Amino acid sequence: MSNVNYEQDGNIAVLTINRPKALNALNSEVLSDINQAIDDIDLDTVRALILTGAGEKAFVAGADIGEMSELTKQEATEFSKLGNDVFRKIEQLDIPVIAAVNGFALGGGNELAMSCDIRLASDNAVFGQPETGLGITPGFGGTQRLMRLIPVGKAKEMIYAGNNIKADEAKDLGLVNEVYTVEELLPNAKKLAERIANNAPIAVRMSKHAMNTGIDEVMDEAIVTEENDFGNCFESEDQVEGMKAFLEKRKHEPFKNK
């Protein structure tokens, strides 16, 4: 996987898209490498994943226009499906995924960030969906996720007009949670990942499932999903230890993911 780097430190893993000379642009090979890296994660030990880009200029500057420019209609549809399949896999991954967005997150880069659970940005980050200026639509979920994360009118403006927004505006809109300096971004992403990793992994996993599933359900169905995931936690050793420690007024033992 020459286009991605993967490092694990304890219960935290960092996946870095490593194509800085092309501003980490996504082509078929990069998408396949990301897909393989996600498949190779040891979900028994990794409790939170950080996704970022190599260098300070770009998280991912977009999909590879050189590759896309030669595609037929059928090939373009297949390329869109490849990206959507990979991003959906990230979105549905059992563990939380944090996007540490350093620099440009345009087109496929913004779409990749939106497939993550949480987005943190550097103060030089720029977000956008500039595809209509190239004669195409967003193809990796941009037309769907953006309007679910920010006001619909603003999402339509960004896509129709191809307007970019900077980190502070992205935070005001709710597209990102926090903005840090370039130097502070990854350390703070790791701090958040560690806080997540210290909680009961099964409970975190059930929470992610309930939220991701429930957002597309009517309330009466969504609360049944929550009830079932709540109940599932009571089959775990971690639930027993967490509640016992609370009642005994002590710090819980490290959660075992069991």
Active site residues: 111, 131
Q: What is the 3-state secondary structure (H, E, C) of the chain?
A: CCCEEEEEECCEEEEEECCHHHCCCECHHHHHHHHHHHHCCCCCCCCEEEEEECCCCEEECCECHHHHCCCCHHHHHHHHHHHHHHHHHHHCCCCCEEEEECCEEECHHHHHHHCCCEEEEECCCEEECCHHHHCCCCCCCHHHHHHHHCCHHHHHHHHHHCCCEEHHHHHHHCCCCEEECHHHHHHHHHHHHHHHHHCCHHHHHHHHHHHHHHCCCCHHHHHHHHHHHHHHHCCCHHHHHHHHHHHCCCCCCCCCCC
Query: Could you tell me the two tokens for 78?
Result: 């297949």
